[in-house]
Amino acid sequence: MRDLATNIHGAWLLVGDFNLLRCAFNLLRCASDKNTHHFNSSLADSFNTCINSLALLELPLLDRLYTWSNKRSSPTLTRLDRAFLNMDFSCLFLDCTLTSRIRSTSDHVPLLLTLYTDIPRSSIFRFENARLKHPLFLDSTLPAWSAAQHRDDAARTLVARVKAYRQEVKVWKKKTQNPSLHLL
Question: Is the domain of 101 the same as that of 60?
Answer: yes
In total, how many domains does the chain have?
2
71 and 149, same domain (yes or no): no
**What's the angle, vertex CA 140, arms to CA 137 and CA 141, rounded to 5?**
85
Looking at residue 98, its pLDDT comes to: 92
Same domain flag for 41 and 83: yes
| Domain limits for position 165 | 129-183
Q: Residue 140: its pLDDT value, please? A: 87
> Based on the domain organization, do 140 and 169 belong to the same domain?
yes
**CB 99, CB 110: distance < 8 Å:** no
**Does residue 21 surpass a pLDDT of 80?**
no
HSE, CB side, 13 Å, CA atoms: give it for residue 147: 10
* Cα gap 1→156, rounded to integer Å: 58
Instruction: Looking at the structure, tell me whether residues 27 and 77 fall in a common domain.
Output: yes
In a domain, 91, yes or no: yes
Is residue 66 within 8 Å of residue 82, measured between CB atoms? Answer: no
The answer to whether residue 182 scores a pLDDT higher than 60 is no
> Is 67 among the domain residues?
yes
pLDDT, tens digit, 9 for 90 and up, residues 107-119: 888 999 998 776 6
What are the contacts of 105-110 at 24+ separation with CB within 8 A?
107/68, 107/69, 107/70, 107/71, 108/17, 108/67, 108/68, 108/80, 108/81, 109/64, 109/66, 109/67, 109/68, 109/81
pLDDT for 55-105, tens place per residue? 888 999 999 898 888 888 988 888 888 899 988 888 888 888 999 998 877
Residue 121 domain-assigned (yes or no): no
Alpha helices in the chain (DSSP H): 2-7, 41-53, 87-92, 137-147, 154-177
Helix (H) or strand (E) holding 57: strand 57-58
Q: Are residues 87 and 160 in the same domain?
A: no
Query: Model confidence over 126-158: pLDDT tens digits?
Result: 778 888 888 888 888 889 888 888 888 888 888
Alpha carbon distance 2, 140 (integer Å)? 61
Q: Are residues 162 and 71 located together in one domain of the fold?
A: no
> Which of the pair, 147 or 8, is modelled with greater confidence?
147
DSSP bridge partners of 175? none
Output the domain CATH number for residue 66: 3.60.10.10
95 and 176 fall within a common domain = no
Q: What is the pLDDT of residue 51?
A: 87
Please indicate, yes or no, whether residues 16 and 93 belong to a single structural domain of this protein: yes
Euclidean distance between CA atoms 12 and 53, whole angstroms: 16
The Cα 53–Cα 2 span in angstroms is 9
